[in-house]
Amino acid sequence: MSDIIASSSAQTANAAALLSRFRITDADLVLVRKFGEKVIPDLEGFVEEFYKWLRPQPYFSFFFPDERKVKITQAAQVEYWREFFSAEVDDDYVQSRREIGKVHARVELPLDIYMASVSVSFENCIEILASGGKPSQQSQRTLLAISKLMYFDAMITADTYAQITSETMIEQSKTLIEMSTPVTAIWDGILLLPLVGIIDSKRALDITARVLEEIASSQSSVLILDISGVAVIDTAVANYLIKITKATRLMGCESLISGLSPAIAQTIVDLGIDVGSIQTTGNLRDALRLAFASGGLTVSEI
């Protein structure tokens, strides 16, 4: 099912497939081109009409800090509408709309602002059609054709925007996970992972995966899990920690859990959790002593 959805995505579909999806026919494109004959000669005026609406908006100064930026954007919009009203919709046309979505995502233009601008541009088209006299079946068909192509453009742009935004969020999430699980090699064969905050099932899986990757790459024999910064120790958290230590043991790496306060120790006892053969210490210093001793090293205090 997911493969079917992926194959029908706007990111993978070609122009012909997307036109069919929106029921845009050759006759529709002919009507858009016919309307374009009126608009294209004065595209600067068409864009400026749009800016009469845009300039008073509260976010205008944020995205357009100076007139130079306005002029550059207006020039780009003139070319956009030239392509639109020329209505030569092929794969290059679709790609150009995807590029617009990328630009909007890069500058973090909110989608509601973009969709509002589409609505305003459509209104301007209605006014141009209305200025031609009494509405006719031809003008109604033209308006429908324009609206379908505008929806077509908006969908491609918004879909690309959403995809890039999603990818960015995933990357940020990965970065946060890495920051929240900073596995550090403090000595040959010894890894340290200080845990802070709340541990849930997803984070426990992320911790396990990251730890096992580090063990495999460094061939470490000891892992110190310091839980002095963990907010809550309950049955679930304790079980997560046990699972992590069991997984590391399968990789040939023994785990030490440090940072057990008297309250945490009592909680574990009250919960009836069997920690088995897991080595625990009350503080990180004692865990380091055990870790070094397992490698035949001694720590002398100065």
- Answer whether residue 173 shows pLDDT above 80: no
Residue 1 confidence (pLDDT): 40
Helix (H) or strand (E) holding 256, with range, is strand 254-258
Q: In this predicted model, which residue has the larger pLDDT, 166 or 224?
A: 224
Residue 150 confidence (pLDDT): 97
Contact 151, 119 (CB under 8 A): no
The residues spanned by each domain of the chain are 2-173, 184-294
Stretch 18-43: mean pLDDT: 96
- Answer whether residue 182 shows pLDDT above 50: yes
Rounded to whole angstroms, how far apart are CA atoms 171 and 105?
15
Residue 277 confidence (pLDDT): 66
Domain 184-294 indexed as CATH 3.30.750.24:
yes
**CA distances from residue 116 to 102, 236, 267 in whole angstroms, order as listed:** 18, 48, 56
CATH T-level topology, domain 2-173: Globin-like (1.10.490)
**Average pLDDT along the chain:** 86
Q: In this predicted model, which residue has the larger pLDDT, 173 or 34?
A: 34
Highest mean pLDDT among 49-63, 141-155, 283-297: 141-155
Residue 10 confidence (pLDDT): 64
pTM of model > 0.75:
no
Rounded to whole angstroms, how far apart are CA atoms 119 and 131?
19
Place of tokens 């290059």: 92
Residue 37 confidence (pLDDT): 95
Residue 232 confidence (pLDDT): 75
